[in-house]
Amino acid sequence: MPVGIFDSGLGGLTVFSEIRKRMPGQPLLYLGDNKHTPYGVRDAEDIYRLTVQNTQALFDRGCDLVILACNTASAVALKRMQETWIPKDKRVLGVFVPMIEAVSERMWGDNSPPREVTVNQLALFATPATVASRAFQRELSFRAIGVDVEAQPCGGLVDALEMNDLELAEAMVHSHVSALLRRMPKPDAAVLGCTHYPILEHVFQEALGPEISVYSQGKLVAASLEDYLQRHPEMVGAAGPTRCLTSGDPKDVSIAATRFLGHSVQFESLEG
């Protein structure tokens, strides 16, 4: 029984890679909806429809647990899915929870009143749809007080990374960081609220300055999944193959993924 990992494109591979490093024996099934990427510029109904469709595809292939390794899907679709759609014998987890836990310095199940935390000024870099949803700010406010969040919609950045145009992507990072720093000159920390962005974590850090802590999702999500599986051993799959599927052209996506991660990644067709 593999754990499913879904993303709108290549970004979730940053989570996929960290999970493989941390839990090499856990079978995984990655699905990238490269045919419809990016999600960050789509409306909420379209994001919900595509997320449900692709999550169902992973359920159909034997995954009882699916991680939405896409911040846009997690922000826009997950709550509605949990309330109205997910079968009782299945679980779908988002990538927001580990990040909220890290910033708020408390576990998700801690229902005590919100309290002050170390971070007071927080920069959030995310897709336009994630920023518009305000999901990160809403969930953080339930757990922490006194945190001023300044969000920067990074339009075009996912497209540049999917096309492997790193020169353009790096220029965009500097532009987006400059725009945010004009509104919040001295953030204590920054959240990379898209799983594509860790590929450019060093560029964000350079643009922000060495004194600003940068939260990136891959390691946090991998550690959170390991903890979840220890508490829910029925979701742990037996040893088996790890596969990567795409709704796009497998050859083109394999080439792009290999460039994206810097090592060979082979995709199969979702329709195969």
Residues 180, 191, single domain; the answer is: yes
Kindly state whether residues 175 and 244 are assigned to the same domain: no
**Helix ranges restricted to H, the chain:** 13-22, 44-60, 71-76, 78-84, 96-104, 128-133, 135-141, 157-162, 166-183, 201-208, 217-231, 250-261
Could you list the active site residues? 70, 194
Q: Are residues 11 and 110 both part of a single domain?
A: no
Q: Cβ distance 94 to 69 under 8 Å?
A: no
Q: What six digits make up the tokens of 83?
A: 């309330």
Full residue range of the structural domain in which residue 59 is found = 3-95+218-269
* Confidence (pLDDT) at 212: 96
* pLDDT, position 27: 93
Q: How far is C-alpha 144 from the chain's CA centre?
A: 21
Question: What type of residue is 229?
Answer: L
Beta bridge partners of 31: 6, 245
The residue type of 126 is: A
State the angle between helix axes of 166-183 and 201-208 in degrees (0 to 180), rounded to the nearest 10: 40
Query: 174, 201, 217: which is the final residue of a domain?
Result: 217
Domain co-membership, 206 together with 105: yes
The CATH number assigned to the domain holding 24 equals: 3.40.50.1860
Number of domain units in the chain? 2
- Same domain membership, residue 248 and residue 210: no
Q: Are residues 164 and 68 part of one domain?
A: no
Contacts of 238 (CB under 8 A, 6+ apart): 1, 27
**pTM for the predicted model, two decimal places:** 0.90
Would you say 72 and 40 are in contact if contact means Cβ atoms under 8 Å apart?
yes
The predicted structure's pLDDT at residue 107: 84
What is the rounded CA–CA span in Å between residue 262 and residue 259?
Answer: 5
Show pLDDT as tens, one digit a residue, over the chain (272 residues).
Answer: 899 999 999 999 999 999 999 999 899 999 999 999 999 999 999 999 999 999 999 999 999 999 999 999 999 999 999 999 999 999 999 998 899 999 999 887 788 899 999 999 999 999 999 999 999 999 999 999 999 999 999 999 999 999 889 999 999 999 999 999 999 999 999 999 999 999 999 999 999 999 999 998 898 999 999 999 999 888 876 667 899 999 999 999 999 999 999 899 999 999 86
Please tell me whether residues 82 and 36 are part of one structural domain: yes
Domain finish residue from 177, 196, 217 = 217
Amino acid 255: pLDDT: 95
